[in-house]
């Protein structure tokens, strides 16, 4: 299907309502048909920013091995998962009594003697 060239045609501007030659009309990013003199390009702050996501996982992950030096180089893998020695257990939303686990974290040591003199 062919269209007319519009050599002598006029179009009404969507912005001002004035009649302009059809050949001088352009379509804005909003879809409005306006004259070249009324054309406003899209503002840079309106453009969609392309945000790259943060890297989440490593490409080739491997478990970390800790070296124990006791007469030679021995390798062992430590279980750092929770709950463990340093994790708190819970029963649904109610936490269990953590005092037993807290006692394992307390340090009991003798640092010296204290002398108190009253004068």
pLDDT digits (tens, 9 = 90+) for 56-103: 777 787 766 555 555 555 555 555 555 555 555 556 666 566 666 666
Cβ–Cβ < 8 Å for 43, 29: no
Please report whether residue 66 resides in a domain: no
What is the C-alpha to C-alpha distance for residues 86 and 73, in angstroms, rounded to an integer? 27
- The count of domains in the chain is 1
Q: What is the DSSP letter of 1?
A: -
Between CA 25 and CA 35, with CA 31 as vertex, the angle to 5 degrees is: 20
Residue 16 lies inside a defined structural domain of this protein: yes
**Residue-number span of the structural domain to which 19 is assigned:** 9-42
Q: Is there a domain that residue 84 lies in? A: no
Task: Sort residue 16 into left (φ over 0), alpha (ψ -120 to 50) or beta.
Answer: alpha
> Model confidence over 7-37: pLDDT tens digits?
889 999 999 999 999 999 999 999 999 999 9
Q: 3-class DSSP state for residue 35?
A: strand
């Amino acid at each position: 299907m062919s269209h007319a060239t519009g050599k002598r045609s006029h179009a009404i501007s969507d912005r001002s309502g004035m009649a302009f030659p059809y050949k001088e009309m352009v379509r804005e990013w909003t879809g409005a048909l306006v004259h070249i003199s009324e054309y406003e390009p899209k503002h840079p702050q309106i453009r969609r920013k392309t945000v790259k996501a943060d890297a989440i996982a490593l490409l080739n992950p491997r478990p970390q091995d800790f070296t124990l030096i006791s007469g030679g180089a021995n390798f062992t893998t430590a279980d750092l998962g929770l709950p463990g020695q340093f994790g708190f257990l819970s029963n649904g939303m109610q936490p269990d009594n953590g005092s037993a686990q807290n006692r394992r974290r307390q340090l009991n040591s003798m640092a010296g003697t204290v002398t108190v003199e009253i004068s």
